[in-house]
Amino acid sequence: MGSEVSHRYFDAEDFSRFRELLDAETALLKDVFDRGEFSPRGDVAGFELEAWLVDAKGEPLAENERFLEALASPLVVPELAKFNIELNGSPCALTGKVFSRLHDELTATWGRCRQTADALGCGVVTIGTLPTAHEDLFVDDNMSAMVRYKSLNDRVMALRDGQKLAIEIEGDEPLSLRHHDVMLEAAATSFQIHLQCRPSQAVRDFNASLLAAAPLVAVGANSPFLFGHTLWDESRIPLFEQSVDVGERNKPRVTFGSDYVHASLFEIFEENRTEHLILIPMVQDAPPSRFNHLRFQNGTMWRWVRPLIGFDFDGQVHLRIEQRVASAGPTLRDCVANAAFYYGLVRGFGAMPQAPELRFSFNDTRDNFYNAARYGLNAHVCWFDDNGGVREVSMRKLIVEELVPLARLGLESLDIPKDEIDEYMEIIAARADNAQNGAAWQRRWMSFNDATLGDLVQAYRALQDTNQPVHTWVI
- What is the reported pTM? 0.97
Q: What is the pLDDT of residue 9?
A: 84
Q: What is the pLDDT of residue 83?
A: 97
Q: Could you tell me the domains of the chain? A: 12-468 (3.30.590.20)
> Does 355 have pLDDT greater than 80?
yes
Direct distance between the N- and C-terminal alpha carbons of the chain, in angstroms, rounded to an integer: 39
Q: Which tens digits make up the pLDDT trace of 141-152?
A: 999 888 888 999
Q: Which tens digits make up the pLDDT trace of 249-273?
A: 999 999 999 999 999 999 999 999 9
> Does 79 have pLDDT greater than 60?
yes
SS3 label, residue 393: strand
From 186, 455, 129, 191, select the one nearest 336 (Cα to Cα): 191
SS3 label, residue 380: strand
Please check whether residue 90 is in contact with residue 46, taking contact to mean a CB–CB distance below 8 angstroms.
yes
Q: Which tens digits make up the pLDDT trace of 45-70?
A: 999 999 999 999 999 999 999 999 99
Band (4; pLDDT cuts 50, 70, 90): confident
Rounded to the nearest 10°, the torsion over CA 255, 260, 264, 269 is -20
> Does 365 have pLDDT greater than 90?
yes
Q: What is the pLDDT of residue 2?
A: 56
Give the number of other Cβ atoms within 10 Å of residue 291's Cβ: 24
128 vs 235: CA distance, rounded Å: 8
Q: Which tens digits make up the pLDDT trace of 6-26?
A: 888 899 999 999 999 999 999
CA 204 to chain centre: 20
Q: What is the pLDDT of residue 146?
A: 84
Q: Which tens digits make up the pLDDT trace of 172-188?
A: 999 999 999 999 999 99
Q: Are strands 225-226 and 229-230 parallel, antiparallel or unpaired?
A: antiparallel
> Does 388 have pLDDT greater than 90?
no
SS3 label, residue 59: coil
399 vs 394: CA distance, rounded Å: 9
Q: What is the pLDDT of residue 387?
A: 82
> Does 1 have pLDDT greater than 50?
no
